[in-house]
Amino acid sequence: MPQSRGLYLRVGALVVAGLVLSLGFVLFFTSTRFGSSSTTYETYLRESVQGLDVGSPVRYRGVAVGRVAEVGLVAAEYHPAQRNTFGSVFQLVFVRFAVDTSRVGEVPSIEDAIRLGLRVRIAAQGITGVNYLELDFIDPERFPPREVPWEPRYAYIPAVPSTVAQVQSAAELLLQKLQDVDLPGLLDNVIGLVADARGQLRDGDLALALKEASSLLGGLRSQVEAAHVPDTLAELRGVATDARALLASREVQQALTNAAGAAAELRSAVGRLPATISSLEGGVRTARGATTDLTAELAPILRDLRAAVGNLRDTTESLRRNPSQAIFGAPPPAPETRR
């Protein structure tokens, strides 16, 4: 009887432990659903969601803010109204996830966040193969939001390809371009180029150029050895020492000081030059005004003087022709008048 009671006690403890573990798993996977501060969103992915399951974390910049609530195919959730749209948008996978708004804080509306570049993508957690959803802000012009021909049941956040998907797409594009390249022709061209280069190095123009370059370098080496470079360097070192001593002498320092003083005086004179030019311009303007007034006063006098000179010239001419006119009056009449 005591043995049976101990067996019942162990079985009962095992059942209670199983119930507690089951309740813990239920609370763990549905913790984001039961919270009053959680909001459900959904997104649509064109790539494989292998490794992303219900309960996978949702992170923003590495901080866990929610969990994946549901994963499924769009074709089964939203039945297509037109068959021609199946190939373009209904080959997608929808993912619904709950975000704990109490952990996010105050954020703009979902429309403003999407316009600023809020996107969803799949990210890998280390090398374990476990994936999670990552929320982040990216360039909205590079990844514009995808339009869908149905009404989402929850707030829709656009998705972008994951890093693995982008690398895979780039690798596939590179392989496609490599397949389009004529590799046999390229290899033939490379082999021909190597053969031509080998011939040039053996007995072509390149070999001749290399021989001439070698002889030229040998000649330069012999000339350098015959030029007594150490003696020349010693002379140059002596000249540099003399120049340094000359620069450090008192005469050169005094000359530099005088030059600095002259430069300062020149700078001061240049500073006074605008005022001098202004005074000179004032004097020129005054002289111009005086000249203008004098010209205005002399003009009538000159005209009168010109008229007087003209009258004097006429009188002189008359006296030269008929000198008696000054004494006796008018000249005698002409011969025709006498008759």
**pLDDT (0 to 100) of residue 26:** 60
Q: Which residues contact residue 28 at a Cβ distance below 8 angstroms, ignoring those fewer than 6 apart?
A: 55
Structural tokens at position 118? 């809020």
**pLDDT (0 to 100) of residue 86:** 59
**pLDDT (0 to 100) of residue 188:** 77
**pLDDT (0 to 100) of residue 333:** 60
Could you say which residues of the chain have pLDDT below 50?
32-35, 337-339
Q: Which residues contact residue 163 at a Cβ distance below 8 angstroms, ignoring those fewer than 6 apart?
A: 121, 123
**pLDDT (0 to 100) of residue 270:** 79
CA 62 – CA 292 distance, rounded (Å): 90
CA 40 – CA 156 distance, rounded (Å): 9
Indicate the helix (H) or strand (E) that contains 138: none
